[in-house]
């Protein structure tokens, strides 16, 4: 369980002062997977560095399992960090240590007996399927393998919290999926609370229970991933699923139809066609299952006004918006 209470971070002093985080309040439930998303410069990484105690907030505090963990002395902070494992972006492995020795590092810092270090490190590498590469140096490992070593190292002190700062950035989609699968398994096995810092919306859809969206140092939206995806009012929900460009049909009007309920009938297109007595031209779609719910959008062409279409779609749990004007326009005008 992680809690941030009115966390603020200011870098620099006087006229160079730069407010990076403003009054962040965050509560991450035990054994949940929470994604923190937002554009670069939004303060995600700074928040991550506050959570894993690499940085002291200017004001406010971090609580781990209900105990204040920020603002402690150097030594006490090092000790508190044992409760949090961090997976960094790219390779933060020590080049001159083998995979096994890298996993042993946190245990050496904590002063565990050498036999325990070796045994546990070997077990962790087995868990991330790297036993065969135990004695390889990072330069001899692929990006995905290096990230697995990073995960094993993050777990070395048996933390309750795993923080992944852009841990899948730069990996190919297959490798990324296997890393995400591993994280999901670890959560199930060890009851880990996982916080993901990412800018990849695919990652969020694939794994996160909760999403927190940041912009300019503040949390601007938060919620359950499935709920946000079904909420047509949510800008975060929209960003999680950005409609692709679709060639417009001639003579008919095109609409983006979003899933706004869990009760959408699978044959809604034929139902709609029957109901309004017009043909529905299918033009494109991106629909997937997230968190056991069907979410996404379908682009259709139909000879019908927005109002009439909306009336017909509402009972089906769908929501239409015209494609002619880009969906972003009304938002920026507001």
Partner 1 sequence: MIPLGMRPMAGRTWPEIFQLLGPALGQTLQMVGIVFVIALVIGLPLAVIVHNTSPSGLFPRTTVHRTLSVIINILRSIPFLILMAAVIPFSRFIMGTALGVAGAIVPLSLAAIPLFARLIETSLREVQKPVLDAGLAASGTRWQVIFRVQLPEALPGIVGNVTIATVGIVEFTAVAGAVGAGGLGYLALSYGYSRFDGNMMLACVVVLVVIAQITQFSGDRLARALAK
In this complex, which beta carbon is closest to partner 1, that of residue 62 or of residue 257?
A: 62
Q: Which stretch binds partner 1 (CB under 8 A): 63-71, 136-144, 211-219, 237-245?
A: 136-144
Residues 36-75 that bind partner 1 (CB under 8 A): 52, 54, 74-75
Return contacts of 307-311, CB within 8 angstroms, 24+ apart: 308/276, 309/255, 309/276
139 binds partner 1 (CB under 8 A): yes
Give CA–CA dist 173/156, Å, rounded.
27
Tokens of 173: 């989609």
In this complex, which beta carbon is closest to partner 1, that of residue 54 or of residue 252?
A: 54
Return contacts of 231-238, CB within 8 angstroms, 24+ apart: 231/260, 232/258, 232/260, 232/319, 232/321, 235/331, 236/37, 236/211, 238/327
- Closest distance to partner 1 from the beta carbon of 166 (Å): 11
Quote the DSSP letter at residue 314: G
Q: Which stretch binds partner 1 (CB under 8 A): 108-116, 196-204, 209-217, 223-231?
A: 108-116
Closest CA to 164 of 203, 134, 126, 128: 203
Closest CA to 195 of 50, 70, 16: 50
- Closest distance to partner 1 from the beta carbon of 67 (Å): 16
Tokens of 12: 């620099």
Contacting partner 1 (CB under 8 A), which of 10, 122, 157, 269? 157
Helices (H), 4-60: 44-51
Give CA–CA dist 43/24, Å, rounded.
10
Closest CA to 154 of 125, 112, 191: 125
273 binds partner 1 (CB under 8 A): no
Give CA–CA dist 218/214, Å, rounded.
5
- Closest distance to partner 1 from the beta carbon of 281 (Å): 51
Q: How many residues bind partner 1 (CB under 8 A)?
A: 32
The answer to whether 256 touches 243, Cβ cutoff 8 Å, is: yes
In this complex, which beta carbon is closest to partner 1, that of residue 121 or of residue 302?
A: 121
In this complex, which beta carbon is closest to partner 1, that of residue 116 or of residue 281?
A: 116
Site string for partner 1, 81-100 (x = CB under 8 A): xx-xxx-xxx-xxxxxx---
The answer to whether 133 touches 172, Cβ cutoff 8 Å, is: no
**Cross-strand partners of 290:** 293
116 binds partner 1 (CB under 8 A): no
106 binds partner 1 (CB under 8 A): yes
What sign does the CA torsion over 40, 42, 47, 49 have?
positive
Q: Which stretch binds partner 1 (CB under 8 A): 106-114, 189-197, 277-285, 323-331?
A: 106-114
Contacting partner 1 (CB under 8 A), which of 108, 131, 262, 279? 108
Contacting partner 1 (CB under 8 A), which of 2, 50, 156, 171? 156
- Closest distance to partner 1 from the beta carbon of 96 (Å): 5
- Closest distance to partner 1 from the beta carbon of 29 (Å): 22
- Closest distance to partner 1 from the beta carbon of 78 (Å): 5
Contacting partner 1 (CB under 8 A), which of 122, 137, 184, 311? 137
Residues of this chain that interact with partner 1 (CB under 8 A) are 52, 54, 74-75, 78-79, 81-82, 84-86, 88-90, 92-97, 105-106, 108-110, 137-139, 153-154, 156-157
């Amino acid at each position: 369980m992680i809690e941030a209470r009115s966390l603020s971070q200011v870098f620099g002093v006087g006229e160079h002062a730069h407010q990076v985080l403003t009054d962040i309040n965050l509560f991450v439930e035990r054994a949940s997977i929470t994604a923190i998303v937002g554009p670069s410069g939004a303060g995600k990484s700074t928040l991550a560095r506050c959570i894993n105690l690499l940085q002291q907030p200017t004001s406010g505090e971090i609580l781990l399992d209900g105990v204040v963990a920020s603002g402690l002395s150097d030594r006490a902070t090092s000790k508190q960090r044992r409760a949090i494992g961090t997976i960094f972006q790219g390779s933060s492995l020590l080049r001159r240590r083998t995979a096994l020795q890298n996993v042993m590092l946190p245990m050496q810092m904590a002063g565990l007996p050498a036999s325990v270090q070796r045994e546990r490190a070997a077990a962790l590498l087995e868990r991330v399927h790297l036993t065969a590469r135990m004695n390889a140096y990072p330069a001899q490992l692929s990006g995905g393998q290096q990230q697995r070593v990073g995960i094993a190292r993050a777990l070395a002190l048996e933390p309750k919290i795993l923080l992944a700062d852009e841990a899948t950035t730069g990996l190919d989609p297959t490798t990324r999926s296997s890393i995400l699968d591993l994280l999901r398994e670890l959560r199930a096995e060890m009851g880990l609370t996982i916080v993901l810092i990412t800018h990849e919306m695919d990652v969020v859809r694939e794994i996160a229970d909760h999403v927190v969206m940041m912009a300019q140092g503040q949390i601007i939206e938060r919620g359950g991933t499935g709920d946000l995806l079904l909420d047509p009012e949510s800008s975060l929900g929209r960003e999680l699923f950005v409609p692709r460009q679709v060639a417009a049909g001639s003579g008919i009007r095109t609409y983006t139809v979003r899933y706004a309920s869990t009760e959408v009938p699978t044959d809604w297109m034929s139902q709609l066609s029957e109901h309004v007595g017009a043909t529905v031209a299918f033009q494109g779609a991106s629909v997937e299952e997230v968190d056991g719910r069907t979410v996404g959008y379908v682009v259709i062409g139909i000879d019908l006004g927005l109002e009439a279409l909306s009336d017909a779609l509402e009972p089906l749990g769908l929501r239409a918006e015209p494609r002619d004007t880009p969906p972003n326009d009304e938002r920026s005008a507001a």
